[in-house]
Amino acid sequence: MWRMVGCNHRQASVDLRERLAFTSEEAEAALRELRRRSPDQEAVLLSTCNRVELYTAASDQGGMLPSDELLRFLADWHRLPVSDLQEHLVQHNGPSAVNHLFHVASSLDSMVVGEAQIASQVKQAYELSIKADAAGPLMHAAFQAASRVAKRVARETAIHRRRVSVPSVAICEVATEFFSSLTDKRILLIGAGEMADESMRYLREAGVQHVLVTNRTQTRAEQLIVTHFGQVVPWEQLNQQLIDADLVISTTSAEQPLVTYDQFLRLHEARFQRLLLILDLAVPRDFDPQIADLPGTYLYSVDDLQSACDKNLAERTKEYPKAERIIQEEATRLLADVQHRGTGPVIRQLREQAAQAKQDELTRLFARLERAGIDPQVRSEIEQSFERLVNKLLHPPLASLRHAAEDGASHNGLLEALRRLFQLDQ
């Protein structure tokens, strides 16, 4: 009843993923188009930099578009030949699709296991589907369960607790070994490129509200603080800022070291050995490695931080089995729940039909007995007896249906048999 067709970082190159990517406006339009083509089918489209995945679901197999049609739909939407996609696409059907969704939402399928962004991207995709009127009860159940899985994995395992990107480890793990809090520290960010941008995000996460940013091209530093926060200081003041700073994050792409040992030695004397942490995230390095030997100055380069990242990644992997167990539990629970919900109308109809037959027979019987003068107590005994009879007759088929739903096994055949045997409405 669920299906997933798409590609991700495991099977498809960045180039193909980029060509298949949807903006949120495109995704909404695509979902509306799918709904138009197949009104009984629910759909959610998840498009991130690492994956483009189309999830579909319907209570009836006949209401779903087959995988090859979904593939054609994706190809046509981006005006790509189907053959270009075919070998890179992955598909899951039934419980496997749910299982895959749970892996994605809990970031076990991410390029960096444990990255936190994917859970919110899954949620946004689901919300977009609701907005496009493409989500129904099956998608509600699956994506709400996916959200629950993501939360449980985050809460019950340590998979998200270890950081794995260099700036995040540098700011959130290394800097905290030196400072109790970064909020009252004088922080100098050198450079205004991508690494500086990422560093700013982690600085904000650490509660920092003020950062001094300096860059050779001042306009780029100004753009950075517009996106984030902070204050630009002229490049010419670099030396003075290095004297005053508690934490320096350097991210330039300079070919030569920005600060040599001899240059820093003069600054070091002016600092009176005050504690200074330099996070040199630049490649090649901005600070002469010899600076690390000076008392009170601690210099970390990308290589130093990378080993901490690798260690954290290994720690995350250790948590994998625990997360898998959570996914299995939740997948079983979802399938049982959905199947149980599917049996609801059949059970209700069966009970109503039996109750009606019982009532008809009782009415006819009491009409005859009234003429002979029936004792009210006898009347009550007869009513209870009929009730017990109906319950005894209904118990075996209903129990079989309930057990099939709880086991998570496909019970469509059983439902169909009951409908035919008892001549229930479709």
Partner 1 sequence: MGGISLICIASSYGLALLLELSRLVARVPGRRWLVLLAIAAGVIANMGHLWARGQAELGFGQGLLATWYDWSLLSALALAIGSGWLTWRRPESTVGYFLLPPVLALTALAWLVRDVAPFSRHEAVTVWRSLHAAGMAAGVATVLMGLSAGLMYLVHSSRLKHKRVNTSRLRLPPLEWLQSLNRNCLLVSTLFLAIGLLAGVVMSLNRDGRVGWTEPGVLLSGLLLIWLLGAVGLEHFYRPAHQGRKMAYLMVANAGFLALALYGALGFSHGTAEQERLVTDPATAPETRSEQP
Binding of partner 1 at residue 177 (CB under 8 A)? yes
Residues numbered 48-67 forming contacts with partner 1, rule: CB under 8 A: none
CA angle 212, 309, 261 (to 5 degrees): 50
Q: Give the type of residue at 245.
A: A
User: Binding residue for partner 1 (CB under 8 A) from 36, 39, 79, 180?
Assistant: 180
Which of 7, 49, 172, 309 is an active site residue? 49
Considering the complex, state which of residue 173 and residue 324 has its C-beta at the smaller distance from partner 1: 173
Question: DSSP string of 308-321?
Answer: HHHHHHHHHHHTHH
Closest contact distance (angstroms) between CB of 244 and partner 1 is 15
Closest contact distance (angstroms) between CB of 293 and partner 1 is 9
Closest contact distance (angstroms) between CB of 199 and partner 1 is 17
Considering the complex, state which of residue 161 and residue 364 has its C-beta at the smaller distance from partner 1: 161
Considering the complex, state which of residue 26 and residue 315 has its C-beta at the smaller distance from partner 1: 315
Binding of partner 1 at residue 213 (CB under 8 A)? no
Q: Strand (E) positions, 257-312?
A: 276-280, 297-301
Per-residue mark of binding to partner 1, 125-164 (x: CB under 8 A): ----------------------------------------
| Cα of 371 vs its chain's centroid, Å | 71
* Helix pair angle (24-37, 117-131), 10° resolution: 50
Considering the complex, state which of residue 176 and residue 239 has its C-beta at the smaller distance from partner 1: 176
Residue 115's H or E segment, with its range, is: none
Q: How many other β-carbons are positioned within 10 Å of the β-carbon of residue 329?
A: 12
Binding of partner 1 at residue 174 (CB under 8 A)? yes
Tokens of 147: 């959200």
Binding of partner 1 at residue 296 (CB under 8 A)? yes
Binding of partner 1 at residue 311 (CB under 8 A)? yes
Paired with 42 in beta bridges are 57
Q: How many other β-carbons are positioned within 10 Å of the β-carbon of residue 375?
A: 9
Considering the complex, state which of residue 311 and residue 388 has its C-beta at the smaller distance from partner 1: 311
Phi and psi angles of residue 230, each rounded to the nearest 5 degrees, phi first: 115, -170
Residue carrying the six token digits 């998200």: 160
Binding of partner 1 at residue 23 (CB under 8 A)? no
Closest contact distance (angstroms) between CB of 267 and partner 1 is 15
Considering the complex, state which of residue 239 and residue 307 has its C-beta at the smaller distance from partner 1: 307
CA nearest to 41, candidates 134, 144, 143: 134
User: Binding residue for partner 1 (CB under 8 A) from 32, 63, 127, 178?
Assistant: 178
Task: Reply yes or no on whether 49 is catalytic.
Answer: yes
Q: How many other β-carbons are positioned within 10 Å of the β-carbon of residue 246?
A: 17
* Piece in contact with partner 1 (CB under 8 A), picked from 30-38, 167-175, 326-334, 350-358: 167-175
Instruction: Please tell me the distance from the alpha carbon of residue 226 to that of residue 43, in angstroms, as a whole number.
Output: 38
CA nearest to 115, candidates 123, 125, 105: 105
* Piece in contact with partner 1 (CB under 8 A), picked from 24-32, 172-180, 212-220, 329-337: 172-180
Binding of partner 1 at residue 15 (CB under 8 A)? no
Residues numbered 245-284 forming contacts with partner 1, rule: CB under 8 A: 272-275
Radius of gyration from C-alpha coordinates of the chain: 32
Contact 309/173 with Cβ under 8 angstroms?
Answer: no
Instruction: Please tell me the distance from the alpha carbon of residue 94 to that of residue 99, in angstroms, as a whole number.
Output: 9
Q: What are the catalytic residues?
A: 49
Residues that bind partner 1 (CB under 8 A): 169, 173-174, 176-180, 272-275, 292, 295-296, 298, 300, 304, 307-308, 311-312
